[in-house]
Amino acid sequence: MKNKVVLLLLFLLSLSSNAQPTLTLEDCYALADTKYPMEKHTALLQQKSVYEVAALTKGILPKIV
């Protein structure tokens, strides 16, 4: 009798539990864009390297202060 009660409780608890919502690949990319700050940092580093290359081609040398 005790086993039946335990099984019944487990069954009823499993019915009330909810699964996590599914994510599409596009949702994952959107979450990664908003929650991963290093992506913005790498974009800034790429822009910095573009500016450095442009400065080197113009003959502007870095200055030591």
pLDDT (tens digit per residue) in 10-25: 887 776 667 778 889 9
pLDDT at 54: 86
Q: Which residues contact 32 (CB under 8 A, 6 or more apart)?
A: 39
Query: Do 9 and 3 form a contact (C-beta atoms < 8 A)?
Result: no
Residue percentage of the chain with pLDDT more than 90: 14
pLDDT at 16: 66
Q: To which H or E segment does residue 6 belong?
A: helix 2-16
CA distance 5 to 49: 68
Structure tokens at 24: 């599409």
Question: Which pTM does this prediction carry?
Answer: 0.36
If one compares 36 and 26, the residue with the highest pLDDT of the two is: 26
pLDDT at 24: 94
